[in-house]
Amino acid sequence: MNLDAIPQGVVAGSIPLFAGHPARELLPINGLKPVIQAAWRAGGVARFLNYGDEQGNPQLIDFLVERLNHRENLGISRDNLMIIGGSTGGVDMATKRLTAPGDVVLADAPSYRDALHIFRDQGLEIRAAPIDEAGIVLADLKRALRQLAAKGKAPRFYYVVPNFQNPSGITMSRERRLAVIELSRQYGFVILEDDVYSDLRYEGAAPPSFYDLAGGERVLRLGTFSKTLAPGLRIGWLIASAERIASFVESGMLRMGGGANPFSAAIVADFCRSGAWEAHARWLRGQYERRRDLALAALQSSMPADVEWTRPAGGYFIWLRLPASIHVDDLEARAQERGLYFASGRGFFVDPDEGARHLRLSFSYVPLPDLQAGIQTLGALIAGMASGG
Amino acid sequence: MNLDAIPQGVVAGSIPLFAGHPARELLPINGLKPVIQAAWRAGGVARFLNYGDEQGNPQLIDFLVERLNHRENLGISRDNLMIIGGSTGGVDMATKRLTAPGDVVLADAPSYRDALHIFRDQGLEIRAAPIDEAGIVLADLKRALRQLAAKGKAPRFYYVVPNFQNPSGITMSRERRLAVIELSRQYGFVILEDDVYSDLRYEGAAPPSFYDLAGGERVLRLGTFSKTLAPGLRIGWLIASAERIASFVESGMLRMGGGANPFSAAIVADFCRSGAWEAHARWLRGQYERRRDLALAALQSSMPADVEWTRPAGGYFIWLRLPASIHVDDLEARAQERGLYFASGRGFFVDPDEGARHLRLSFSYVPLPDLQAGIQTLGALIAGMASGG
């Protein structure tokens, strides 16, 4: 969705706190320009205007393999990584290749709305287990697995945003990850690790990825440049076993289309190899950390005592729980009258009613004054509704 | 597949007549540069570096709607068109959204290899009917439909490249198109019209599209910039009923990814709106026509009398039939020893053995001297084999 148009279109001066978009002013517009110019000067353009390798831009593959091995001591080779059309391209491919309509997949409750939408488009049955501050609740996950097994059903994969989850901002603990991996072995499902936000950590240390903890077995790990560079380029990557990568690369879609977005992948490759991406991501972390801190401070000063919210160590999102007396639909209607938009909790659950007391705030997109003003408005609305107004 | 690397890598001086790629030297490298620079100067970059509209770049949609209505008197509105990631993106989306594993789809025999690959990836059963110089043979198509109906099966769609078909170069006649549309109504299948090459017509007039002849009913028509601009940009379009477009636009994949490739779509939009695309396509037609003429002349002068080939009025491909005594595998092995690569007929049939006497030559990719030399070598090889050499 193009949000640059929508807010102004709906209500002048509106505040879109629902958007999981990078802020316009944080896109590296000036940084990309010289990279593109240099590619033209160097004559590299002919290379990336034609069909590309099915596995994706070779220079970008090499860069990512080296970076991941250096930062995480991951020990992958270029056979373990392919370029995809954003993390979306990976979720779509995994869904197509690993499932058939009627199959079951596992997810968190709440989970990322648009991924649930992709699963529904493919006619999949989604079983979700609740999360707490450390990630998926194991007792609930085990119960779901037992119930499915009793019906002779085996889930195909578990979809998870492990770090700064969308929508909750929660990071799953190392212990939970290990336990889920154990269950994945026991029940034979794949873990689809949609690691969108790990490069936007503002404090603390990251637990090892599912891919790392599982020794690369039965895990598909997705990464993306959408949050640390620019979503419009549509470039991400997939890490998996060499066999899995080879099978994906052999797909008709990649044969026909010639690898993920050769033109923008080459631009991203050059941007990364110049060192500009690391520098930009570092700067971004500082910018988003300020936004997060401001949002948390505004929540602290604006919200009535019976509102609860998460304190994410990275990413884009804060997840709110409303007082029992307030339904999110009512709050949403009143907020929109004032030009304030948030993501209703209802979209993030298989059963929308489970989200009736929740909402997601995104601190990534709006300018800081709007972020503060939006949260203040929201606090006043909730306080008014809680007091029967 | 990146062919700039392969030929040199396999055999120095090799001639890749198998590649359905635009020639490197025919890519509008210098034409694209000022378009991109202007976008940066005008500040349009922020707009297309972020997530875009699910339906695709609005300016490009408007341009295409106006062009198609002007050229073909098509009478579509912007509700009938969406931007996709090349025609591949459309085949992939249609396959995902219109079929489930085990479903039947119809195709020509021969048909485009990579599309068959996509259908197989999705677990579809492919029923193909032979084509002659006017397209699919109706008696065979009707027989296939009756046989399927007798088994209680209804095909989901008929996949067709209507103009300058890949691999045969054949254009389906108006009468055949009308008859297929009639059958599509009778049996309830969709026509997936992959109209990749219609902007590369070198002579004669085009029959109306399936979409046009069917009044837009039950037809998905795909177009692409891959052959007339640059495949690496991954931009095409889909024309369909407003209901169908709305349902595709509402998909989880487009919600998550934000429309097809916003960055390159914006570049394509600006290139088109400046008039550069029409001018480039016109120039391209002249260039490819020369290549086709040279290829046909070389075939005429090099091939033994019992070799037959098509004479395409556009597109990239010529389809050869070998003498009964020659198996394409033997010819392929001998050709590759001499650094000559073509597309074996076997890949274009559901039953590869049907293609054992056929091969596809592409005249789009290699320089003219190589095209001539390659066909001469091929002729000599066939003559040698036919005489028992």
Question: Does residue B17 surpass a pLDDT of 70?
Answer: yes
Query: With the C-alpha atoms ordered B69, B72, B73, B77, is the resulting torsion angle positive or negative?
Result: negative
pLDDT band at A41 (very low <50, low <70, confident <90, very high): confident
pLDDT score of A258: 87
Contacts of B231 in chain A (CB under 8 A): 49-51, 258, 262
pLDDT score of B262: 95
Question: What is the CATH architecture assignment of B33-276?
Answer: 3-Layer(aba) Sandwich (3.40)
**Chain B touched by A201 (CB under 8 Å):** no
Question: Does residue B35 surpass a pLDDT of 70?
Answer: yes
Please, are residues B125 and B102 in contact by the beta-carbon 8 Å criterion?
yes
The model's pLDDT over B118-155, given as tens digits with 9 standing for 90+, comes to 999 999 999 999 999 999 999 999 999 999 999 999 99
Give the C-alpha distances (Å, rounded to integers) separating B15 from A54, B277, B303, B340: 21, 29, 18, 5
Please, are residues A145 and A153 in contact by the beta-carbon 8 Å criterion?
no
- Count chain A–chain B contacts defined by CB atoms under 8 A: 199
pLDDT score of B210: 98
Question: Coil, strand, or helix at residue B158?
Answer: strand
Residue A287 to chain B, least CA–CA distance (Å): 17
Q: Is B188 exposed, middle or buried (0-12, 13-18, 19+ CB in 10 A)?
A: exposed
Contact A232 B263 (CB under 8 A): yes
Average the pLDDT over B37-58 and give the result. 88
pLDDT score of A37: 87
The token pair at A185 is 């072995």
Average the pLDDT over B90-95 and give the result. 94
Average the pLDDT over A164-180 and give the result. 98
What are phi and psi for residue B256, nearest 5 degrees?
-70, -45
Closest-CA residue of chain B to A266: B232
Residues in B 328-367 with any Cβ partner in A closer than 8 A: none
- CB within 8 A of B313, min separation 6: which ones? B164, B171, B201, B202, B203, B204
The model's pLDDT over A342-374, given as tens digits with 9 standing for 90+, comes to 999 999 999 999 999 999 999 999 999 999 999
Question: Coil, strand, or helix at residue A132?
Answer: strand
Counting residues of chain B whose pLDDT is more than 70, the rounded percentage is: 97
pLDDT score of B8: 39
pLDDT score of B7: 42
pLDDT score of B47: 79
Length of chain A: 389
Residue B385 to chain A, least CA–CA distance (Å): 32
The token pair at A332 is 């949403």
Average the pLDDT over B269-275 and give the result. 96
Contact A27 B45 (CB under 8 A): yes
Average the pLDDT over B191-200 and give the result. 97
Residues in B 65-124 with any Cβ partner in A closer than 8 A: 85-86, 88-89, 91-92, 96-97, 100-101, 113-123
Looking at every residue in chain B, the average pLDDT score rounds to 94
Question: What is the CATH architecture assignment of B3-28+278-386?
Answer: Alpha-Beta Complex (3.90)
pLDDT score of B258: 87
Please, are residues B268 and B310 in contact by the beta-carbon 8 Å criterion?
no
Contact B46 A4 (CB under 8 A): yes
Domain ranges of chain B: 3-28+278-386, 33-276
**Chain B touched by A41 (CB under 8 Å):** no
Strand bridging mode B236-239 / B157-160: unpaired
Please, are residues B350 and B337 in contact by the beta-carbon 8 Å criterion?
no
Task: Compare CB distances from B50 to A91, A118, A232 and report the shortest one's residue.
Answer: A232
Question: Does residue A169 surpass a pLDDT of 90?
Answer: yes
Q: Which of B36-45, B47-56, B273-282 has the highest mean pLDDT?
A: B273-282
pLDDT band at B6 (very low <50, low <70, confident <90, very high): very low
**Chain A touched by B53 (CB under 8 Å):** yes
DSSP string, A181-228: HHHHHHHTPEEEEE--STT-B-SS-PPPPHHHHTTTTTEEEEEESTTT
**Chain B touched by A253 (CB under 8 Å):** yes
Give the C-alpha distances (Å, rounded to integers) separating B303 from A380, B59, B310, B386: 84, 49, 13, 11
Cis status, amide bond into B167, omega within 30 of 0: yes
Distance CA A105, CA A188 (A): 12
Question: Coil, strand, or helix at residue B361?
Answer: strand
pLDDT score of B257: 85
pLDDT score of B389: 64
**Chain A touched by B258 (CB under 8 Å):** yes
Residue B153 to chain A, least CA–CA distance (Å): 18
Distance CA A125, CA B198 (A): 41
Average the pLDDT over B244-267 and give the result. 92
Question: Does residue B238 surpass a pLDDT of 60?
Answer: yes
Contacts of A226 in chain B (CB under 8 A): 51
Question: Does residue A138 surpass a pLDDT of 60?
Answer: yes
Counting residues of chain A whose pLDDT is more than 70, the rounded percentage is: 97
**Chain A touched by B38 (CB under 8 Å):** no
Contact A117 B251 (CB under 8 A): yes
pLDDT score of B5: 45
Closest-CA residue of chain A to B115: A252
Please, are residues B294 and B286 in contact by the beta-carbon 8 Å criterion?
no
Query: With the C-alpha atoms ordered B185, B186, B191, B197, is the resulting torsion angle positive or negative?
Result: negative
Contact A50 B116 (CB under 8 A): no
Looking at every residue in chain A, the average pLDDT score rounds to 94
Question: Does residue A1 surpass a pLDDT of 70?
Answer: no
